[in-house]
Amino acid sequence: DTAVSQTPKYLVTQMGNDKSIKCEQNLGHDTMYWYKQDSKKFLKIMFSYNNKELIINETVPNRFSPKSPDKAHLNLHINSLELGDSAVYFCASTLRQGAAKEKLFFGSGTQLSVL
């Protein structure tokens, strides 16, 4: 009965490969996110998505693309992986984006290592 689940937990791959990380939430939330946490623990928002709008952080390379088959899923696809993509990627969701007390629920993270 995990609220926000993402797979895989660990992903080790070679430079240049394409990979995907999956995320699912069973909370009935209408907005999902992807965050990247680097080795210094800095949490940076990558994407925000609800059924109406995809919001992209302009600093995210276009090799990264979110794909949402339905409201409960937001997958992250990464093309042509680079060494600098190594990080922990967190999926998160919130009940209603922009609510006064916007509380994010995070998945357990995917540790991506690019060799």
Partner 1 sequence: GQSLEQPSEVTAVEGAIVQINCTYQTSGFYGLSWYQQHDGGAPTFLSYNALDGLEETGRFSSFLSRSDSYGYLLLQELQMKDSASYFCAVRVFLSSGSARQLTFGSGTQLTVLP
Binding residues for partner 1, rule CB under 8 A, total: 26
* Entry field: residues in the chain: 115
Shortest gap between Cβ of 46 and partner 1 (angstroms)? 10
In this structure, are residues 20 and 77 in contact, taking their beta carbons and an 8 Å threshold? yes
**What is the distance between the alpha carbons of residues 1 and 46, in angstroms, rounded to a whole number?**
26
Q: By CB under 8 A, tell whether 103 contacts partner 1.
A: yes
Q: Which residues contact 19 (CB under 8 A, 6 or more apart)?
A: 11, 13, 77, 78, 81, 112
Stretch that binds partner 1, among 13-21, 50-58, 61-69, 70-78 (CB under 8 A): 50-58
Shortest gap between Cβ of 41 and partner 1 (angstroms)? 5
- DSSP code for 62: T
Shortest gap between Cβ of 8 and partner 1 (angstroms)? 15
Q: By CB under 8 A, tell whether 43 contacts partner 1.
A: yes
Residue 20 or residue 108: which is nearer to partner 1 going by CB?
A: 108
**What is the distance between the alpha carbons of residues 94 and 103, in angstroms, rounded to a whole number?**
6
Positions in the binding site for partner 1 (CB under 8 A): 33, 40-45, 48, 53, 55-58, 90, 97-98, 100-109
